[in-house]
Amino acid sequence: MTERRFLLGFVTALVTLGLVVGAFQILFTRVGEIGLAQVVDRQLAVPNGDVLFLSGVNQNSHRYKLMLFDRQQPQVIAIGSSRAMEVRAEFFDAPFVTLGGAVNNLADLEAVADHVAKAPAKPRLAIVYVDPWLFNARYTDNQGPVPAYPRYVSADMLWAGAKALRRGNWISESFRSPNLGIHAISRNEGFARDGSQYYNLTGDGAYDAKFALTFARIDGDKQNFQRNTRADPRLVGRICAAVKKVRAATGAAAVVAPPFADSVWLRLSQPDYAYIADGYAQLQACLGGIPFFDFADPARIEGSTECEFIDGLHGGDVTYARTLLQMAAADPAVRAQVDAPYLAAFMGKFRGHAGGTVLARNPAAREADFLQLGCRK
């Protein structure tokens, strides 16, 4: 092979590779897997809920939720893990964004508190949902740096996109769907512009049928359900300090222990999980005058049933509507922000359902008994 032919082949291969990479860069940018700012731009350009977003490559929503907060400058916010995602903008009279999903560990909570404290426009009310495993010293979730949302296509992204094709042709579907992110495009579920998550609950498939997956995690002493008899006072102190920083920035805050499904809570009420009650008691004592609402036991939620849960540890939006109405009755700061008549009507119309807001926007839709509990929908 002559030097000229070698160089020609090399340049041809390089150009071909560049064209292929460029094509994939355009594709992944168009579907929302690259460039978080343009995702938020497109969501804010349409009414709430009309464009859902959930990446099929990067499931960490910390940076995305903070960007929603910065861009919308809401007067009311929710802070927490995925267990704060079912709080909706419709539930409030004031502009609202949930940072649910931005807190996967204690370091995340502290980072969110710092971000809110430095924001130029402060919310009037923050509702902080505190998971019990945050004060469990055995909780082993990764506390490393939050990954940046990608700006350029990568080999990992191409591989993830290829694997997603086994669940359906998201490439062709992206031309019909208004959603962004491979997961949202292929499953029609994800985050709306208020940060709340919409689940596709109309099919026959069950993620946590009869709460079997949740019980497996409890029995396996793993993930969020490591056993412990005592909460770590140092961790409780850090949570308390973060909440107080948020309250100082906003002027009003409330802390919530989010609910578990009834049968799951029964398992967590055993002595092996005594740290839960211990931790919440320590936290409440530390908070001083900041209102604390303990809904971990769903029996404390008036009218709640397991049929209103998405899985063993995630209540649906009807569940959270119930809690907000009870909070409003006890706390003037919450009462001043919630739309109580809407909440009462919403609970009455969609009782027994996990995704009432989806049904309200799509009257022809019907929620399935996806938990296989014999729920009448």
Q: What confidence tens digit (pLDDT) does each residue in 91-143 have?
A: 999 999 999 999 999 999 999 999 999 999 999 999 999 999 999 999 977 56
3-state secondary structure of 21: helix
Output the DSSP codes for 296-336: SSGGGSTT--GGGEEETTEE-HHHHHHHHHHHHHH-HHHHT
Would the pLDDT of 6 be above 70?
A: no
User: Is the Cβ–Cβ distance between 239 and 109 less than 8 Å?
Assistant: yes
Q: How far apart are CA 81 and CA 295, in angstroms?
A: 15
Which residues have C-beta within 8 Å of that of residue 323, sequence separation ≥ 6?
A: 256, 259, 293, 295, 301, 315
Angle at the Cα of 174 (from 172 to 152), degrees rounded to 5?
Answer: 110
Q: Are strands 292-294 and 309-311 parallel, antiparallel or unpaired?
A: unpaired
Angle at the Cα of 258 (from 206 to 269), degrees rounded to 5?
Answer: 85
274-330 pLDDT per residue, tens: 999 999 999 999 999 999 999 999 999 999 999 999 999 999 999 999 999 999 999
Q: Label residue 350 by pLDDT band (50, 70, 90).
A: very high
User: What pLDDT does residue 24 have?
Assistant: 77
* Domains of the chain: residue spans and CATH: 61-153+192-361 (3.40.50.1110)
User: What pLDDT does residue 143 have?
Assistant: 60
Q: CB-side exposure of 92: number of CA atoms within 13 Å?
A: 24
195-228 pLDDT per residue, tens: 999 999 887 656 799 999 999 999 999 989 999 9
Q: How far apart are CA 243 and CA 112, in angstroms?
A: 10
Please list the residues that pair with 78 across neighbouring strands: 98, 127
User: What pLDDT does residue 1 have?
Assistant: 56
36-47 pLDDT per residue, tens: 999 999 999 988
